A and B are shown apart, each in its own frame.
Chain A
Amino acid sequence: MSAAPPTDLVPVTIDGQELAVPKGTNVIEAARRVGVDVPFYCYHPKLSVVGNCRMCLVELGQPAVDPATKAPVMDPVTGRQRINWIPRPQIGCATTVTPGLHVRTQTPQIKACREGVMEFLLINHPLDCPICDQAGECKLQEQATGYGRGYSRFIEQKNVKPKRTQLGPRVMLDDERCILCSRCIRFCKEIAKDDVLGFTDRGSYSTLTCYPGRQLTNNYSLNTVDLCPVGALTSTDFRFKMRVWFLKQTPGIDPESSAGANTVVWSREGVIYRITPRDNDAVNDSWMADSGRELYKQVRAPGRLAGVRVAGVPASLDAAVARAGELFRAAAGRVAVVGSGRSSVEEQWLTRRLAEALQASTQLVSRVGEGDGLLVSADRNPNVRGALVTGLIRSLPAQRLDDLAAAIDAGRVTTVVAVGEDLAAAGLTPAQLAKVQIVHLGTAASPTSEAAAVLLPALTLFEKAGCFVNQQFRLQRFQRAVPGPAGAHDDLELLARLIGAAGGAAAPADLGGVWRELAAAVPALAGRTFTTVPDLGLPLDSAPFAGLPFVEGPGLHYTPART
């Protein structure tokens, strides 16, 4: 986002620090800019403000002016303009800054307010953090330490509520832990557009539940788990599997569609436990689809390819590459390359190099579904635009591989290099597969891997680093979360070896090398390196591709260009 023009800045003073913030900023966000922490539970920047937790109470004041003359009223002691403080504390989340607003967050009154709210939130909360799945990422835990009194005066019986309510297929609710902040309710209503959650009963007995006869089944339900500041909502997939403080966080990209939601991949000792969204206000805000969170399971899925094979027999990589070279030479001029919209920009670049070395035709496998208007777009390939940017393809992929099928039938193609794609799933018949020699890079067993003359096991998204270009033409980077299985090889290495086998000029097998080529050859990436791609992505110039009939409909932060 570009900086707001100075006229839209509002001067405020927070705990004595003067600053100017954009008009419309609330006190919590303004305070954050100067490093002042205003604690909160119910507030979320992407949801409507309800002000129900009362944790963000602050003192507000305005410089005093004489009501008649409008002249500033000075304080004779300090020599500065007097501040009229509002005696009652006010909530920071619902207070938008006004010129000259003064905020105090460190007074005895505010300390008492925070201690009071903390005590109230904890009296009916099960204080069993050692067995709570949220421990380690619990706002209640954090803020009890930061702002609580450290002891409780409560000796009465705690309220009893349902402990295990399955709200939907993926979300479990413990009502006793719920602090009734209503973030999940607001998310479902305002973002997922599936108004399914609400409270029943009242007062301290209020209970979160689904509407009668409904379930929390929408494809964004797990965002409520991320939003939940406490351990009330947990993911049935992740709960009680691993303590969060043991997990390593790796930035990733959701590969299920061209929306390209930013993610965090949580892993420990080479095992991935969960995927959560990573904030990116230009792409996915704080959300991602449930469907994208399950994709890590492909890493350890049955049928994972983990051994190089030549004609179905285990072989060394050297032998396999040599065999591929033989196939390429035997089929000179009759080789086709099938690239993938799921490959990274770097892999697509090397795929292009390979196709050029083989003087092969190239095609991309198209995956089009229905967009959900939010973060799963119609193009289920995460990186078709990467293939355009790298020049692997010049037009959008056809719906089916009909041209390739016809060429095979006519004998014009006798060898196919399938990079990360299953040709059967892409529409080729078993007879067509049988008719050609296949060099296949892949991760999962498929008809193509079964039929492959040369089978080269590659890495899943989570085992390698690279970039995708999403529907906004935003170049986004993902990092390697876990190592690949024994027997699998990095895609770049495999492609570089194949380029060599095809008689092409030596190709780099590492990201740095590929990026040196990309920076030199691709105008949009001129001067760029992999390591300097910003964490929140790099918008590329989409003008060269403006006329293409992209399939995506409107989504979060995306409006299709009208032709």
Chain B
Amino acid sequence: MPAPAERRIIFKHIDEPGYTPDLACYLRHGGYATLRKALALAPAAIIDEVKKSGLRGRGGAGFGCGLKWSLVDRKSGKPIYLVVNADESEPGTFKDRYIIHQDPHQLIEGIMVSSWANNVRQAYIYIRGEFPHGARILEKAIAEARAANLVGPNVLGSGYSCEIYVHRGAGAYICGEETGLIESLEGKRPYPRIKPPYFPAVLGLYQCPTIVNNVETLCHVKHIVDVGGEEFAKIGTPGNTGTRVLCVSGHVRRPGYFEYEVGRITLGQLLHEVCGGPLPGRTFKAIIPGGSSAKVLRWGETFTLKNKDGSTRTLAVEDIPMDFDTLAACGTMGGSGGVIVMDDSVNMVEALANINAFYAHESCGQCTPCREGSLWMKKITTRMVHGQARAEDGALLQGVADQIAGRTICAFGEACSWPTQSFLAKFGDEFRAYPAAKTAPRPESVPLA
């Protein structure tokens, strides 16, 4: 079956010749009409549309956006904040940066629509420190929008006022975790908060109810208001509505970013037809489908999945539709949409050493299992690839990873242990064979300790 055509909604104008990130260009393309439309609607009606749309968060967890909004404490009398998570730091993910760089007003319009819907008077864009250019673009775009009365006091004469501020992070992966982000935004170390009691919807930024949404998610909100929730829900597949941007990196002929209806394209179609298949003379070996923390899939493996009626079906890895639920059923996740492809030239121990080095470097250090475990795993895999691998190291890695997952304050515990757990589950033979096969150090393949 040939791959369906891309359906670009969010990325409609990305890389379009002549499309510029300024307000005039955005207005020429019909920009801010949705904001005008939204301001004429009751906020509750917009929330209803978002609920009907079935939109799921594009940041990684795939949590229902409408549900997230409905959990917000609206009775406290405190201000409600909207925080835009533009801390796109999951390795393998590079979608939000294109929206910010090339179409910032789409995001701003999404923010304004969502803010109106949730009675938000102050919205913050938390952008990762490594995006200085993106931050400047956003600042400029907000200034333009403010000058055009699209942001700020009395938006478009509606009487509604909302300011948007850009806050630059200082370069920490953990700031993508919503409560770590909130702490950082408050000027503290980004130590994720304990939940309970600090659910952002109740005790978020400055202990006020707060909505934290991903950049792509908020852009989708604009389109939901555009076309209506029910119409939006027809895009994609039931329970996995809309489009999403998939970022393919690694060993394919044509890596890049592609926007597809969720669940309408399979992993095989994406890699073979869209990305041109493996590099010449190579074969696919392993796929991480949702950013580096997602569990790895082995090319060639099959899954036995339960159908709704109780029967089972067998699914080959290349036939997995790229949606939230099927990927979860296959033991991994859609995550942030970063598809990392590894071919047969890759040694999985060395690949894991690289991932472990990243997570050891990024653990915030607040809680014990992740702080100590992530560095320990890194030390083990670093030692292995430096010629001192032992036969028992695979089992040890597994033991360490098992002591982290599910016992930490935030999801980083899973993020840092899932790679190890899945690499061992899917490629355990390589870890067992590694001590004999690799006695010489390979210092170029992983960072030194």
Q: Across the interface, do A89 and B367 meet the contact criterion of CB distance under 8 Å? A: no
* Chain A residues whose C-beta falls within 8 Å of the C-beta of B262 in the assembled complex: none
Q: A117 touches which one: B196, B197, B369, B409 (CB < 8 A)?
A: B369
Size category, B interface: 20 to 34
Listed residue (B366, B383, B403) with the most chain A CB atoms within 10 angstroms of its CB: B366
Listed residue (B194, B362, B363, B408) with the most chain A CB atoms within 10 angstroms of its CB: B194
- What is the minimal beta-carbon distance from B9 to any residue of chain A, in angstroms? 36
24 contacts between A and B (CB under 8 A): A50-B366, A52-B367, A52-B368, A54-B407, A89-B406, A91-B194, A94-B194, A95-B196, A113-B407, A116-B407, A117-B369, A119-B403, A120-B371, A121-B372, A123-B376, A153-B396, A157-B449, A180-B366, A180-B368, A202-B365, A203-B375, A204-B363, A205-B365, A206-B371
Q: Across the interface, do B368 and A123 meet the contact criterion of CB distance under 8 Å? A: no
The answer to whether residues A153 and B399 also contact, given A121-B372, A203-B362 and a CB cut-off of 8 A, is yes
Q: Across the interface, do B371 and A89 meet the contact criterion of CB distance under 8 Å? A: no
Q: Across the interface, do B396 and A204 meet the contact criterion of CB distance under 8 Å? A: no
Tell me the dominant secondary structure on chain A's binding face: loop
A49 to B409, CA, bound (A): 12
B374 at the binding interface (Cβ < 8 Å): yes
Q: Across the interface, do A156 and B361 meet the contact criterion of CB distance under 8 Å? A: no
Q: Across the interface, do B364 and A202 meet the contact criterion of CB distance under 8 Å? A: yes
* Chain A residues whose C-beta falls within 8 Å of the C-beta of B361 in the assembled complex: 203
* Chain B residues whose C-beta falls within 8 Å of the C-beta of A180 in the assembled complex: 365-366, 368, 371
Against B, the Cβ 8 Å flags (1 = close, 0 = not) of A49-66 are 111111101000000000
User: How many interface residues does A have (CB within 8 Å)?
Assistant: 37
Against A, the Cβ 8 Å flags (1 = close, 0 = not) of B374-391 are 111001100100000000
A51 to B410, CA, bound (A): 11
Q: Across the interface, do B365 and A204 meet the contact criterion of CB distance under 8 Å? A: yes
Q: Please give me the 4 A-B residue pairs with the lowest Cβ-Cβ distance, nearest first.
A: A116-B403, A120-B372, A206-B365, A156-B379
Q: Across the interface, do A199 and B189 meet the contact criterion of CB distance under 8 Å? A: yes
- What is the minimal beta-carbon distance from A180 to any residue of chain B, in angstroms? 7
What residue in chain A is nearest B371 (Cβ atoms)? A204
What residue in chain A is nearest B188 (Cβ atoms)? A198
Q: Across the interface, do A203 and B367 meet the contact criterion of CB distance under 8 Å? A: no
Q: B366 touches which one: A52, A95, A154 (CB < 8 A)?
A: A52
A94 to B399, CA, bound (A): 27
The answer to whether residues A53 and B368 also contact, given A89-B406, A94-B196 and a CB cut-off of 8 A, is yes
Q: Across the interface, do A89 and B407 meet the contact criterion of CB distance under 8 Å? A: yes
What residue in chain B is nearest A202 (Cβ atoms)? B365
* Chain A residues whose C-beta falls within 8 Å of the C-beta of B196 in the assembled complex: 94-95
Residues of A with Cβ closer than 8 Å to B? 49-55, 57, 88-89, 91, 94-95, 112-113, 116-117, 119-121, 123-124, 153-154, 156-157, 159, 179-180, 198-199, 201-206
A94 to B191, CA, bound (A): 16
Q: B197 touches which one: A94, A119, A121, A204 (CB < 8 A)?
A: A94
* Chain A residues whose C-beta falls within 8 Å of the C-beta of B374 in the assembled complex: 203-204
Residues of B with Cβ closer than 8 Å to A? 172, 189, 191, 194, 196-197, 360-369, 371-376, 379-380, 383, 396, 399, 403-404, 406-409, 449
A198 to B379, CA, bound (A): 26
* Chain B residues whose C-beta falls within 8 Å of the C-beta of A206 in the assembled complex: 365, 371
Q: Across the interface, do A203 and B399 meet the contact criterion of CB distance under 8 Å? A: no
A55 to B408, CA, bound (A): 11
- What is the minimal beta-carbon distance from A117 to any residue of chain B, in angstroms? 5
What residue in chain B is nearest A50 (Cβ atoms)? B194
Q: Across the interface, do B194 and A156 meet the contact criterion of CB distance under 8 Å? A: no
Q: Across the interface, do B373 and A202 meet the contact criterion of CB distance under 8 Å? A: no
* Chain A residues whose C-beta falls within 8 Å of the C-beta of B172 in the assembled complex: 202
A117 to B403, CA, bound (A): 8
The answer to whether residues A204 and B194 also contact, given A52-B366, A157-B379 and a CB cut-off of 8 A, is no
* Chain A residues whose C-beta falls within 8 Å of the C-beta of B403 in the assembled complex: 112-113, 116-117, 119-120
* Chain B residues whose C-beta falls within 8 Å of the C-beta of A205 in the assembled complex: 365, 375
Q: Across the interface, do B369 and A120 meet the contact criterion of CB distance under 8 Å? A: yes
A50 to B194, CA, bound (A): 7
Q: Across the interface, do A202 and B363 meet the contact criterion of CB distance under 8 Å? A: yes
* Chain B residues whose C-beta falls within 8 Å of the C-beta of A94 in the assembled complex: 194, 196-197
A180 to B399, CA, bound (A): 23
- What is the minimal beta-carbon distance from B189 to any residue of chain A, in angstroms? 7
A52 to B367, CA, bound (A): 4
- What is the minimal beta-carbon distance from A144 to any residue of chain B, in angstroms? 13
Q: A117-B369, A204-B375 are in contact. List 18 more A-B contacts (CB 8 A).
A: A53-B368, A54-B407, A88-B406, A94-B196, A116-B369, A116-B404, A117-B368, A120-B372, A120-B403, A123-B376, A154-B376, A180-B371, A201-B365, A202-B362, A202-B364, A203-B363, A204-B363, A204-B371
* Chain A residues whose C-beta falls within 8 Å of the C-beta of B360 in the assembled complex: 203-204
* Chain A residues whose C-beta falls within 8 Å of the C-beta of B197 in the assembled complex: 94
What residue in chain A is nearest B360 (Cβ atoms)? A203
A54 to B372, CA, bound (A): 12
